[in-house]
Structure 1
Amino acid sequence: MTTANIMLYVDKVEENADFWKKYLDFKETERFDFGDSISIVLAVSPTCNLQLFNIDFIKKNSPEVAAHKPSLLFDVANFDELHEHFTKDDHPVGDIMMVGDARTFNFPDVDGNYYAVREAKE
C-alpha cells in the first residue's frame, strides 16, 4: 500500500493541527520534534496524510520549496454539516455554489490559506 503525505508549510503548526482536527476530524498520527520546531502528521484517510511544518523551519532547511503551496480539494460526504460547522463557529467560509454538477465551497485555515470542498458522490 502506498500512502501520500501532503506537506503543508504554515505559521502555526499546533493551531493548524487543531483546526484540521476540529473541522475535518483528521486524526493526529505522529509528532516530530526538531528542537526549535515541530511537525504534526494528520491522517486524512488510510492512504493520505497532511504533514504540517513550520514555514520558518522549511525556509531555513529547504528554502527551494518554501513558497510551494498545494491547492487541495476535499471530497466529503457530510458536505452540509461541514459548511454549517464553519458557519456556526463564525469561521470564514465561502458560499455553496455549483461547479459543474457538484456543490462546492471554500474555507481558509488559521493562516489564511484557502482550501476547497466538494460534495462527495454516493
Structure 2
Amino acid sequence: MTTANIMLYVEDVEANADFWKKYLDFKETERFDFGGSISIVLAVNPACNLQLFDIDFIRKNSPEVASNKPSLLFDIADFDGLYARFKENNETVGEIIEMGGARTFNFPDRDGSYYAVREIVA
C-alpha cells in the first residue's frame, strides 16, 4: 500500500496540530524533533497523512518549496456536525453553498490558510 504525506508548512506546528485533531479528529502518529523545530504527522486515513512542518525550518532548509501551499478538499460524512462544531466554537467558516451537486464550505486553519469541505452524498 502507498501512503501519501501532504506536507503543510505552518507558523505554529502545535497549534495547527491541535486544530486538525479537534475539528477533523486526525490522530497524531509521529513526532520528529529537528533540534529547535518539530514536525507532527497526523493520520487522515490509513492511506493519507498531513505532516506539519515549521515554516521557518523549511525556509532555512528548503527555501525553494517554502511558499508551496496545497489546495485541499476533504470529503466528510458528518458534514453538518463539522460545520456546527466550527460555529459553536466561534471559528471562521464560510457559508454552505451547493457546488457540483454537493454542499460545500471552507474554513481557515490557525495560519489563515483555507481548506474546503464537501458533503459525502450516499
One-letter code aligned to 1:104: T
| Paired residue type of 1:55 | I
Unaligned runs of 5+ in 2: none
* AA of the residue aligned to 2:81: E
**Structure 1 residue 9 displacement after superposition:** 0.2
Paired AA for residue 8 in structure 1: L
Unaligned ranges ≥5, structure 1: none
Counterpart of 1:70 in 2: which secondary structure? coil
Q: Does 1:94 align with 2:94?
A: yes
Q: Which residue of 2 aligns with 1:80?
A: 80
The separation in 2 between residues aligned to 1:103 and 1:22, in whole angstroms, is 22
- Aligned equivalent of 1:38: 38
The alignment covers a number of residue pairs equal to: 122
1:56 pairs with 2:56: yes
Counterpart residue identity of residue 3, structure 1: T
- The normalised TM-score by structure 2 is 0.99
After superposing on structure 2, the runs of 4+ consecutive aligned residues of structure 1 that deviate more than 3 Å are none
Deviation, 1:121, is: 2.4
What is the Cα deviation at residue 120 of structure 1? 1.0
Corresponding residue number in structure 1 for 2:22:
22
CA RMSD of aligned residues (A): 0.4
Q: TM-score under structure 1 normalisation?
A: 0.99
Q: Alignment identity in percent?
A: 74
Per the alignment, residue 106 of structure 1 pairs with 106
